[in-house]
Amino acid sequence: MNPLHRPGDSPVHRLPAQVKIVGALAFVLCVVATDRTAYWAFGAYLAVLAAVWVVAAIPPGWMAKRALIETPFVVLALAAPFLGGGPETEVLGVSVSVSGLLAGWNIVAKGTIGVLASLTLAATTTPRDLVVGLQRLRTPSVVVTIATLMLRYLEVIVAEARRMRLARISRGHDPRFLWQVGATARGIGTLFLSSYERGERVHLAMVSRGYAGALPDTGGPARPLSWLSGLVPAATAAVVLVGTL
């Protein structure tokens, strides 16, 4: 279900999830706070991420392929130089707005590094561990329960939707453009009902196996050494950020 996770046994993979979540968030906030004209800083952030990939044994090409989910924002950024106002400059013989050019660069640079940081987190941590990490960060138990069961049910629902679609198509349904909306929506209604009724059965099964309202906490506290080593990328980013001021 999760094509973003890359199983491994590197120090980055073994780091407790709560450390990685805090580290990734702090890192991204540093990137977003950086002045967009401090061009070298973005190179430094990329170098920090590349160092993490080396430790985690993730090939850069593997990352690049998955970073394509950011494409819509790159399209937006490429349009920016033509939409911005103010003084203009010439790039390759085309007159573009200076502030628009900078704004486009800002979105591409920060968006790309942000998505790469998120991908690094997702690649080195299983979905289950991410939820455990949230649990260790004192997330309320109801939220942990909902998130855990959501991840478990997601696969079931997506598989069920795929079977329903196959069943429709094998009965001669040929959905195109807008006309598929009716069948899709009715399918969603049926999907909700069948998943809900399955959920009711699963709940009874959970209760009969001793479920009393809270999921067990399977994580452990992170050692100070884990925190120290895990926050090195974020700390480096903070140093770079201070250096740009």
As measured in angstroms, the least distance from the Cβ of 80 to other proteins is 7
Question: Do residues 30 and 241 lie in contact, with contact meaning Cβ atoms separated by under 8 Å?
Answer: yes
Options 212, 225, 242, 245; binder of other proteins; rule CB under 8 A: 212
Q: How far apart are CA 10 and CA 57, in angstroms?
A: 7
Strand partners, 88: 97
143 part of the interface to other proteins, by CB under 8 A: yes
Options 38, 46, 88, 148; binder of other proteins; rule CB under 8 A: 148
83 part of the interface to other proteins, by CB under 8 A: yes
Options 57, 94, 150, 167; binder of other proteins; rule CB under 8 A: 150
Integer angstrom CA distances of residue 240 from 21, 30, 108: 20, 9, 19
60 part of the interface to other proteins, by CB under 8 A: no
Select from 8-16, 188-196, 222-230, 231-239 the region that touches other proteins (CB under 8 A): 188-196
Q: How far apart are CA 120 and CA 20, in angstroms?
A: 10
Options 10, 184, 236, 244; binder of other proteins; rule CB under 8 A: 184
Which is nearest to 158 in space by CA: 121, 128, 180, 187? 187
Select from 43-51, 207-215, 220-228, 230-238 the region that touches other proteins (CB under 8 A): 207-215
146 part of the interface to other proteins, by CB under 8 A: yes
189 part of the interface to other proteins, by CB under 8 A: yes
Q: Which helix (H) or strand (E) holds 97?
A: strand 94-97
To the nearest 10°, report the CA torsion of 128, 131, 133, 139: -160
As measured in angstroms, the least distance from the Cβ of 219 to other proteins is 15
